[in-house]
Amino acid sequence: MSATSMNLSARAGTWTVLGLLAGLYAAQSVTGSMVQSALPVALRDAGMPLDQIGYLAVLFLPWALKFLWAPLVDRYFTERSWILACQAGVAACFLAAAAFPPQTHLMPLSLVLLVMATLAATQDVATDSLAVRATSEATRGAASGASTAGAYVGFLIGGGLWLMVYSAAGWAVSMVAMAGFIALLSLPVLFSSGLADRRDRETSSVRRVALRSVLSNRMLMKGIVFLLVYQIGIRMGSAMTGPYLVDKGLSLDAIGMVRGAGGAIAGFIAATLGALLVQAIGIKRAVIAAAILNAALLAALASLEAVGSISQTLAAGLLIAQGAAVALSFVALYAAMMNWCNPDQTATDFAALQSLDAVIAIAASAAAGHLGKLFGYGALFSASAAFLLAALLLVSRFLAVPGRAPSQERVLEP
């Protein structure tokens, strides 16, 4: 095969992997965004207090605990098998949830959503493992951008389109529609295979993938310190943006447009630009730029709340911009997290990082609800900006980004 043919094959393989990752992250984002973003809006519209809405974050416990069963993904079956089984389970859960509208059946619905979240979290483990193993250090900025862009497509469906379907046709129809979206987004992985090398199971059984190996990964442990401070600022600043728009007087349809179409399109564009930014200036500088942008937007929201002069249009515009800044930060940060993982246990290492992120999201959401109720949205946005500024002080010491080792790089598998 000529060098030209090999290059064309490698490029085709690259686009295949990036497209598949975008679809998989879109599928898992449908579930997460509906529970995290759209459901709180519907409940706030029905009159539920902010502090009670904040506790809905407990449904993200499976994402916080998935590191416990992540070693199973490293040791048994293939990522593709795990993904397909979990996707089918999530679609079935959406169909079951159709019988439990939240206003009257919140407890049984919560149980169904908890099962759904466990399946989605397991799919996340397998997808993250595939993303790390099917890419090289040189291509992970692009992979992170494709994954984040796909997640915003899922956000458009689960966080925006769902609200409009729910508002127009009711709970049951909206749940059946979500099941259909999950089935549709599962088709690419059904017809794809060979995207990453097979693991050496004999080596894995001797070395035994274990959680204690995570603690011996010094690069990962340093990164966790930065991740903790940085993501508190991001997660707390984003937790109550839906209820914030409700309290500004926007209708469900308007919020669906702002957070769905507006937020998802802005996030998709920001994720694409974020991938280019990471490739152009590197992971560390991209993370710094994203932190500064997020802090500036949150500080602007806090300032406008303090003087009481913010209009519905301005609030919606700033939140769309802030959502785009969050997308940019995820691209840069997740590219760094991929590089922290041990190639021998990618599922376990990345799951540990994302479990910590989920714990932060749960705690930050609960804290944001109480902070917003006690002191107002201005104090909430100010505290979030302060955490992001504090994270900037930790960059040089704790944001570990390895140097490239060309001899160890591998191209994306076709």
| Rounded CA Rg of the chain | 21
In this predicted structure, the answer to whether residue 357 has a pLDDT above a threshold of 70 is yes
* Residue partners of 403: CB distance under 8 A and separation at least 6: none
pLDDT in tens, 241-265: 888 888 888 887 787 777 666 777 8
Residue 200 is predicted with a pLDDT of 54
In this predicted structure, the answer to whether residue 1 has a pLDDT above a threshold of 50 is no
Residue 293 is predicted with a pLDDT of 96
**Which of 72-76, 179-183, 314-318, 409-413 comes out lowest in average pLDDT?**
409-413
The verdict on residue 74 lying in a domain is yes
Residue 260 is predicted with a pLDDT of 62
In this predicted structure, the answer to whether residue 206 has a pLDDT above a threshold of 50 is no
In this predicted structure, the answer to whether residue 186 has a pLDDT above a threshold of 60 is yes
Stronger pLDDT, 204 or 336, i.e. the higher one: 336
To the nearest whole number, what is the mean pLDDT of the chain? 81
H, E, C per residue of the chain: CCHHHHHHHHHHHHHHHHHHHHHHHHHHHHHHHHHHHHHHHHHHHCCCCHHHHHHHHHHHHHHHHHHHCHHHHHHCCCHHHHHHHHHHHHHHHHHHHCCCCCCCCHHHHHHHHHHHHHHHHHHHHHHHHHHHHCCCHHHHHHHHHHHHHHHHHHHHHHHHHHHHHHHHHCHHHHHHHHHHHHHHHHHHHHCCCCCCCCCCHHHHHHHCCCCHHHHCCHHHHHHHHHHHHHHHHHHHHHHCHHHHHHHCCCCHHHHHHHHHHHHHHHHHHHHHHHHHHHHHHCHHHHHHHHHHHHHHHHHHHHHHHHHCCCCHHHHHHHHHHHHHHHHHHHHHHHHHHHHHCCHHHHHHHHHHHHHHHHHHHHHHHHHHHHHHHHHCHHHHHHHHHHHHHHHHCCHHHHCCCCCCCHHHCCCCCC
The alpha carbon of 285 is separated from its chain's Cα centroid by a whole number of angstroms, namely 21
The verdict on residue 128 lying in a domain is yes
The verdict on residue 7 lying in a domain is no
The verdict on residue 82 lying in a domain is yes
The verdict on residue 411 lying in a domain is no
Using CA atoms of 79, 82, 84, 87 in order, give the dihedral in degrees to the nearest 10. Answer: -120
User: What is the domain-level CATH number for residue 70?
Assistant: 1.20.1250.20
Domain that holds residue 174: 12-196+217-402
Q: Which amino acid is at 256?
A: G
Stronger pLDDT, 159 or 206, i.e. the higher one: 159
The verdict on residue 206 lying in a domain is no
Residue 177 is predicted with a pLDDT of 92
* Mean pLDDT within 174-194: 85
Cα–Cα distance, 332 to 395 (Å, whole number)? 13
pLDDT in tens, 37-52: 788 777 777 777 777 6
**Which of 139-143, 189-193, 226-230 comes out lowest in average pLDDT?**
189-193
The verdict on residue 269 lying in a domain is yes
The verdict on residue 356 lying in a domain is yes
Which of 222-231, 336-345, 361-370, 395-404 reaches the highest mean pLDDT?
Answer: 222-231
* Mean pLDDT within 300-304: 91
Residue 207 is predicted with a pLDDT of 45
* Mean pLDDT within 93-105: 89
Residue 387 is predicted with a pLDDT of 97
Into how many domains does the chain fold?
1
